[in-house]
Amino acid sequence: MTRRFADLAFTPNVCAQQVRHGSRTQYARMQATGGEPDRLGPEETEFLEDADSFYLATVSETGWPYVQHRGGPKGFLTVLSPQRIAFADYRGNLQYVSAGNAVGNDRAALIVMDYVHRSRLKLLGHLHFEDVNEADAELVRKVSPSGYSAKVERIAIIDVAAFDWNCPQHITQRYSRQQVEVMIDSLRAQIASLEQKLEEARRQGSAAS
C-alpha cells in the first residue's frame, strides 16, 4: 500500500475501526498526510494496459456509491502518463449514471482484476468525461480500440490520486474463453492426430481380416 493510498482511505472512522481491532499502530506508519499523488510505474502500466475489464465506482449527490462495469478489448484502458489514465466510454443504456455522478463529484475508484494471475489493483482518482466530438482528436484516436464495433460516446479521463495492490487471497483463478481456446489448441491437435492413427489402425485391421 502506498502512503498516499493510506492517507486517502484511512478516514477518521476507518482509523477508529483499526484502533478497535488492534491494527492502527501498524497502519499509522503507512500513512502520510499530504504529499504528491502516486505515480504509476511500469508494473502498474503493464497491468492496466493488459486489462479487458474493470469496475468503476463513482459517488452521487445523494452520497450513494455507484459501481459499474467497464469492458473492452485488451488495451482499452490507456495509461497516458504516470498520473493519468483514460478509456473510451461506449454508448450503453442511456442512463449516464457514472457520467452524471462525475459532474457533481469527480472522485472515483477503480478495481482492476487479473483472474489468471490472481492479482488486483485498486486505484483512486479524479474522473471527468469529455464528449467524443469535443475531445482532442489525437486523444480519441489513442484511446479508441481499433476494430471494436461499440460506439464511443465520450472519453473518460482519470487523474490518479493513489493506488494499491492487493494480495491474491480469495481470488478464484478464471480464464476467459479466448485464453481457454489457446490452452486447448494443442489438446485439439493431439486428439485429431490420435483419431487419425486410430482410423488408420482400423483400416489396416479390416484390410487384414
Ligand X SMILES: Cc1cc2nc3c(=O)[nH]c(=O)nc-3n(C[C@H](O)[C@H](O)[C@H](O)COP(=O)(O)O)c2cc1C
> Which part of the chain contacts ligand X (CB under 6 A), choosing from 89-97, 112-120, 122-130, 187-195?
89-97
CB atoms under 10 Å from CB of 199, counted, come to: 10
d(CA 6, CA 30): 6
Nearer to ligand X, 26 or 93 (CB): 93
Q: Which residue in the set 75, 82, 92, 145 belongs to the binding site for ligand X (CB under 6 A)?
A: 92
**Could you give the CA distance from residue 173 to residue 107 in angstroms, rounded to a whole number?**
30
CB-wise, 6 or 86, nearer to ligand X?
86
> Within its chain, how far is the Cα of 105 from the centroid?
21
Residue nearest to ligand X (CB): 92
- Interaction between residue 149 and ligand X (CB under 6 A): no
Is 97 a binder of ligand X (CB under 6 A)? yes
Q: Is 148 in the site for ligand X (CB under 6 A)?
A: no
In the complex, minimum distance from the CB of residue 93 to ligand X, in angstroms, rounded to a whole number:
3
Contact flag: residue 31 with ligand X (CB under 6 A) = no
In the set 13, 26, 62, 95, which binds ligand X (CB under 6 A)? 95
**Which residue among 2, 9, 53, 96 contacts ligand X (CB under 6 A)?**
96
Residues in contact with ligand X, counted by CB under 6 A, come to a total of 8
Cβ(18)–Cβ(24) below 8 Å: yes
Task: State yes or no: residue 98 binds ligand X (CB under 6 A).
Answer: yes
- The CB-of-94 to ligand X minimum distance in angstroms stands at 7
Q: How far is the CB of 68 from ligand X (least distance, A)?
A: 4
* Binding region for ligand X (CB under 6 A): 68-69, 92-93, 95-98
